[in-house]
Homo-oligomer: A and B are copies of this chain.
Amino acid sequence: MADTLNFPGGPVDAGLIDDLVAASRILAKHGVLDAWGHVSIRHPANPERYLLSRARAPALVSADDIMEFDLDSNPIDQRDRRMFVERFIHGQAYKARADVNAVVHSHSPTVIPFSVTGEPLKALSHIASFLVDEPPVWEIRDVGITQGLLVTNNEQGGSLARTLGNKPVALMRGHGNVVVAPDIRRVVHRALYTEINAQQLVTALSFKRPITFIAPDEAQDPKRLDDSWEVWKAEVMG
């Protein structure tokens, strides 16, 4: 494998692109991404650019599919490749948050019921500590009716980014969620454990007893994610 891959914004470490491809497949394998949804990274050498697959199912993404966009989500070198209509979610998140270098948009199945009921999706497990504050729920109708609830322009993407604020996760009513992190491995961790924490919370809520959530003074994101990454990547990258 080449050491670097060429992109318009400058060469990118091939291992990072390999991680981006793996991220897409990992989240598909674990059921967080269905046949749609997408994972991106900020260009490591060029903060006004981000890298995202051309439009195709996450389980099938490979390095050749990765395209470069500016933060208004214009393609830098489109070459007839079809693009995700919802890429504005990514561009606006990078524009609003200098600390964000990786973004996931998914239809995470157990998160959607929280998005339509107002039931707070808070951390009950230490491994989902990033959910210690209740994630906000974005209502797309607040920026006007849109058929299909899709985020197809910068105005909608910007509204979503404002709802996200400085949080790691925002729910999108009747649609899914957006997850951000400082790097690709952490965004995969967060996207996966948002779904798993949701599943466990559904169960805990069924008991109709008070729930002890993770407290602010004990919340801590896992510091080291190499071990989980090793096994998740091994399962999808042959």
Contacts and interface: CB of A to CB of B under 8 A. Distances in A.
Given A207-B205, A210-B117, A211-B116, A196 B56 contact: no
A206 B34 CA distance: 23
B203 A146 contact: no
A10 B112 CA distance: 46
23 contacts: A34-B127, A35-B232, A55-B227, A57-B230, A60-B234, A112-B200, A113-B201, A113-B204, A113-B207, A116-B211, A116-B212, A117-B210, A117-B211, A118-B209, A119-B207, A119-B209, A126-B150, A147-B219, A147-B220, A148-B219, A148-B222, A149-B218, A174-B212
A203 B110 contact: yes
Contact of A218 (B141, B206, B222): B141
Given A60-B234, A117-B209, 12 more contacts: A35-B228, A36-B127, A57-B228, A107-B127, A109-B200, A110-B200, A112-B125, A116-B124, A141-B218, A145-B217, A174-B212, A206-B206
Contact of A204 (B60, B116, B149, B227): B116
Given A35-B228, A228-B57, A203 B127 contact: no
Per DSSP, chain A at the interface is: loop
A70 B164 CA distance: 48
Interface in A184-233: 196, 199-207, 209-214, 217-220, 222, 227-228, 230-232
Contacts of A124: 112-113, 116, 174
A173 interface: yes
Interface in A120-175: 124-127, 129, 140-141, 145-150, 173-175
A211 B115 CA distance: 9
8 closest A-B pairs by CB: A57-B231, A35-B228, A148-B220, A113-B204, A147-B220, A126-B149, A113-B203, A117-B209
Q: Give how many copies assemble into the complex.
A: 4
Contacts of A203: 110, 113, 202
A89 to B, nearest CB: 14
Contact of A196 (B109, B140, B214, B222): B109
A57 B235 CA distance: 12
A60 B59 CA distance: 22
Contacts of A56: 227, 230-231
